[in-house]
Amino acid sequence: MLATAVVVGGVSSHAAKKGAQQANQQAAAAAAPAAPVAPVEAAAPAQPAYMAELEQLSQLLQQGVITQEEFDAKKKQLLGL
């Protein structure tokens, strides 16, 4: 069976209904409250590179690989003291 479209004022009834549906959907979307946005947790500040190196040196000191004097000298160098 063939479907016929009624043309009223240059616009078919099907096109008019489709346009009305789209307009209603847009209006409903605009009227609907926006979904709540979850707060973004502040990321931990990036650890400076010298801190990681100091931690490694500390471990070497505890293991007896380097002396306290070597640790202190490198620490002063890293901290710019």
Q: What is the pLDDT of residues 64-80, one digit of tens each?
A: 999 999 999 999 998 88
Given a contact cutoff of 8 angstroms between Cβ atoms, the answer to whether 25 and 53 are in contact is no
| Burial profile 32-68: b = 16 or more Cβ within 10 angstroms, e = fewer | eeeeeeeeeeeeeeeeeeeeeebeebeeebeeeebee
Read off the pTM. Answer: 0.43
Q: What is the pLDDT of residues 17-66, one digit of tens each?
A: 555 566 566 655 555 555 566 666 666 667 778 899 999 999 999 999 99
Residue 13: which pLDDT band, with cuts at 50, 70 and 90?
low
Domain regions of the chain by residue span: 49-79
From residue 9, give the alpha-carbon distance in Å to each of 6, 18, 21, 69, 71: 10, 16, 19, 94, 89
pLDDT at residue 16 tops 60: no
The β-bridge partners of 31 are none
Query: Could you tell me which residue, 64 or 1, shows the higher pLDDT?
Result: 64
